[in-house]
Structures are given as C-alpha cells and as structure tokens.
Amino acid sequence: MKCIRALQVAAWLCCFMPLMAWAELPEGLQQGLEQLASTDGFRCNFRQKLTFQEGDEQVFEGTLTVARPGRFRWEYLKPYKQLYISNGDGIWLYEPDLMQAQWLSGLDTVDPVVMRLLNGNVKAEEITLLGTPGEKFTYHIRIGNGQDIWLHLSDGMPAWIESRDALGNRNRMTLTHIMKSTPDESLFHFDVPQGVDVINTAVSAAGGLNE
C-alpha cells in the first residue's frame, strides 16, 4: 500500500516545472512548461487510474491544489479519503479512516526527482526527450535518471500524466477543471485532529508543517 501511495504522489507532481531555457525542446513542450513555471498556482480535480499488468485496475478521484514553491494539497475522496499536504517543508499524510497521521520529514521521502521539479532544482540539460512526440502535445520525457513519463498538454496545462514501472504497470492521472489562481495559504496548513495517532511524533512535536 505504501508503494502505491508513493506512486500516486509521484504522478501528479511531475506537472509542475520551473522556468528555464527550453531551447532544445519541441516548441509545444517548451511553451507549456514555461506557462506552468509562470503560474503561481492552480486548483483542479483529478482522476487517477492504475492499470496493473495482469489486467486489474484501481481508480481514485479527488482534488489537487498547488502553489509555488513546493506547496500542495492533494486530497483523495474516492474510493477512500486520504490527504497529502505540504507547506514546502515536508509532507503530512493523513488517513481519516485509520485515524492516523504520518509526518514525512523531507520531500525526498516520496520521490527525489519529482520533488526536485516542485522545488525548482532541475536544470534544463536534465530534461531528455525520448523518441519523437506522439499525438499532438503528448511528450515522452525523462528527468535526469528518473523514470520515464508521458505528459499531455492542453492549453499549456497538463491534461494527463502517465508513468509505467518496470513490471509494466501504468499510472495515469487526468486533470480536469483546472483553475489558475494563487491558492489561500490556509489550504497548506495541517493540524492533527484530536484523537488521531501520529507517526514520527518526535518530528511533528517540533513543529512540522504547522510552523
């Protein structure tokens, strides 16, 4: 289950890139990434579909709010509730059905390459275009030595992001009803609800994301 959660977090974060010199990239990809980098934040709905090699599927739905630099609120609503929230210093994972909250002390805990994108620490030369573009505004790319991803842009924003692991399992996240705006800072603040068990209490007691 933890591996699936890490895969879920990795998928959507790939859509948020810093402004750089994209001169060697296709024009559509270059313009899309520059538009993402110039956007202070956005809110959207998402539908995430995990397709496993043997044919089984899992579908998740929820909402996503992103703000530069490094802040996000990623909330699963179906088939169960789960919340990842960060103000840029780390991540709270809250699972209300389990009455449990976990403090992930660093962004690299989830996926180092994707988190570097969110923090604006990726150099232009680390972006590799794999093969030729497929359908219009669909690009197969790699960031550094990370996993391959497929990115489809619509009106300069990600319409879907897909990754595949070594076993051939596919993870596609589709973003809909995207609204570009500067989110309220309160969305990235998390207080542990009364009665909820906290994992890594030594870290969270020091302040965690609440500072």
Structural contact between residues 137 and 28, judged by C-beta atoms closer than 8 angstroms: yes
Residues 168-189 have pLDDT tens digits of 899 898 989 989 888 899 999 9
Q: What is the 3-class SS of 101-130, one letter each residue?
A: EEEECCHHHCCHHHHHHHHCCCCHHHEEEC
Residues 5-41 have pLDDT tens digits of 555 555 555 444 444 444 577 888 777 777 777 778 8
- What is the C-alpha separation between 17 and 6, in angstroms, rounded? 19
Residue 133 has pLDDT above 60, yes or no: yes
Average pLDDT, the chain: 77
Which pTM does this prediction carry? 0.76
The region of weakest confidence among 40-49, 142-151, 182-191, 194-203 is 194-203
Handedness of CA 191, 197, 200, 202 (dihedral sign): positive
Write down the pLDDT at residue 56.
93
Q: How confident is the model at residue 82 (pLDDT cuts 50, 70, 90)?
A: very high
Quote the percentage of the chain above a pLDDT of 70. Answer: 72
* Residue 55 DSSP symbol: S
Q: How confident is the model at residue 126 (pLDDT cuts 50, 70, 90)?
A: confident
> What is the set of domains in the chain, with CATH numbers?
2-206 (2.50.20.10)
Report H helices in the chain. 2-13, 27-38, 112-119, 201-205
Q: How confident is the model at residue 199 (pLDDT cuts 50, 70, 90)?
A: confident
